[in-house]
Amino acid sequence: MQQFSITDFRQQFPILQSLVNGKPLIYFDNAATTQKPMCVIENQSDYYQHSNANVHRASHALSAKATVAYEDARQRVKKFINANTEQEIIWTKGSTESINLVAQSWGRSTLRPNDEIVLSHSEHHANIVPWQIVAEQTGAKIKVLPLSETGIIDIEQLEDVIGERTRIVCFGHISNVIGRINPTAEIIRVAKKYQALTLIDGAQAIAHIDVDVMALDCDFYVFSAHKMYGPTGVGVLYGKKAILEQMPPYQAGGEMIKTVSFEQTSFNELPHKFEAGTPNVAGVIALGASIRFLEQQGHAALFAYEEQLRAYCFAQLSSVKDLVFIVAGEPDIPVFSFSLKGQHNHDVAAALDSVGIAVRSGHHCAMPLMQYLQVTGCVRLSLSAYNNFQEVDFAVQQLKILTQSVLETCDETSSNTSHLRLSASNNHNPIVSNDLTVDDVLAMFAKAKGWDSKHREIMLLGKKHVRLSVQDKTEQSIISGCESHAWLVCYQETSGKFRFKGDSDAKVIRGLLAIILAAVNNKTAAELNAFDLDDYFSTLGLLQHLSPSRGNGLRAIVKKIEQLIAHSNC
């Protein structure tokens, strides 16, 4: 077996040399997207510098060069997943578009009222919503496969769901949350028994296990380049040739036609029938480079290293007090989903981000799975072959610090944190308010050196923030746009000044609320309109450092305040 060198492998990814919040980047969000090696980056750039032309259509040298590289990538994918012919490899924008293509092309032309589409509880939204749309369009029905205690599709209940009316069974090879390999052979066997097609979402599997579509004998297999060290905006739909030939085109335009007249159009041969318009030529060529890159590393050696890393990470995470995995047992790939008792998953992710560790928190585009497991969300730590044992150790150390409630000790050093008080209005509409002022916040952040220190101040503010009563947490007070639950209420005094109070189930959002309310409380509408919140946030360094989801939450709070002021009848 080819030797795998983690040192050599890491050196090929330039972004891993980055600092985040002043700390070395530890990238543990690989289930969302993987980082790109220099060869992929250079390959995509090289296309634009030396062979930029449209493929298949022109009769000049640049087009010929681009077309050769473009179709070479198709051949590489065909070999990579062991398809029967390159005609079975369709380029798309990603797994999501691949599923939509099958749903709209095959599903809309084939499904009839009361036909059944079978999914599973662990599916990504991308393998649910397209089927809901086509079910509504055709009158078909959706049925759902239950999961076992270990989080995989329960083979004991397959024939309780798959039956005579089943037309297609769509399921993930590996869940993006649970990280376990589903029993593909059994599912496909039962589907075939009832003459149903099968579609496998391989987005999470493609970078971690060998995929052989001929051995699987599935009818469709989809995956995205960006989850296997390739570029964004490129995906693959594998489909059996006989099925693809019977399917009508998904989109119409250039490249997918053979002849066009105003009376009649004839369509191109496979695979071009499904590739309307100018494709992402650079991205497709870069996908070919990512496959070459993986082949040069040696699949067996790379997977063997990932196995060691997965086992080590699971053991280390298991040693963290109050860490609860979303399902019991060790995953099959290095994807670990968990919560820390007593701590909101967004708070955990924000704390890790403050020291340079990138993880994902929330529902992970798998809301039905969260509902099935009776949780509101979780933290997901997903590793790749460029991660190492030292990074795992540091992340686990930080998780242990969180479980030890080190933030408690910050009380002694944060002398700038203001006390909270309760004020009542003249007409018996009490509004809990915070004496914290803009000057207090600016002074607090000025003393904090580095984002990790500022993050601790935000979390401390969130911890001390007075909570809303249950009665105040209504549909009218909810803040739309925050990933965590958040609410805002207000009251306008007879003087015209506004008093606001907010709450959230995440400490980080409560801290941000405290910072915003310091700027907006006890002001008239004119004073609020004159205050430059963007400048305030910029001075504090919030928008530069907050994650996109936290930044969106910040904007959602501001939007809610603007809506309340506009109505002026809090």
Q: What is the pLDDT of residues 21-32, one digit of tens each?
A: 889 999 999 999
d(CA 359, CA 28): 5
pLDDT of residue 414: 42
pLDDT of residue 554: 84
Q: Which of 8-22, 83-97, 327-341, 443-457 has the lowest mean pLDDT?
A: 443-457
**Residue 419: DSSP 8-state:** P
Q: Which of 120-124, 243-247, 427-431 has the lowest mean pLDDT?
A: 427-431
Sheet holding 166-172, edge to edge: 89-92, 235-239, 220-224, 197-201, 166-172, 116-120, 141-145
Is residue 412 pLDDT above 60, yes or no?
no
Is residue 489 pLDDT above 60, yes or no?
yes
Which residues of the chain does CATH 3.40.640.10 include? 40-295
d(CA 255, CA 278): 8
State the CATH architecture for 6-30+298-404: Alpha-Beta Complex (3.90)
Active-site annotation, residues? 365
pLDDT of residue 261: 67
Side-chain half-sphere exposure of 112, counting CA atoms within 13 A:
1
Is residue 506 pLDDT above 70, yes or no?
yes
Length of the chain: 570
Which residues of the chain does CATH 3.90.1010.10 include? 409-567
Q: Whole-number mean pLDDT of the chain?
A: 89
Which residues of the chain does CATH 3.90.1150.10 include? 6-30+298-404
- Looking at mean pLDDT, say which of 54-58, 237-241, 263-267, 509-513 comes out highest: 237-241
Q: Mean pLDDT across the stretch 308-316? A: 98
d(CA 414, CA 464): 12
**Residue 147: DSSP 8-state:** B
Is residue 428 pLDDT above 70, yes or no?
no
34-47 residue pLDDT tens: 999 999 999 999 99
pTM: 0.84
Q: Mean pLDDT across the stretch 133-137? A: 98
Please tell us whether the domain made up of 40-295 is placed in CATH 2.60.120.200: no
The residue with greater pLDDT, 133 or 466, is 133
Percent of the chain with pLDDT over 90: 64
**pLDDT band (50, 70, 90) for residue 457:** confident
* Alpha helix positions (H), 367-469: 367-373, 389-403, 438-447, 451-464
The residue with greater pLDDT, 48 or 550, is 48
**Residue 188: DSSP 8-state:** H
**pLDDT band (50, 70, 90) for residue 252:** confident
Q: Mean pLDDT across the stretch 411-435? A: 39
Residues 6+ apart with CB under 8 A from 11: none
Is residue 521 pLDDT above 70, yes or no?
yes
Q: Token pair of 66, please?
A: 């681009």
Is residue 409 pLDDT above 80, yes or no?
no
Residues 6+ apart with CB under 8 A from 294: 228, 229, 302
Phi, psi angles (nearest 5°) of residue 469: -75, 160
CATH C-level class of 409-567:
alpha beta
**pLDDT band (50, 70, 90) for residue 552:** confident
d(CA 308, CA 294): 18
Residues 6+ apart with CB under 8 A from 268: 255, 256, 257, 258
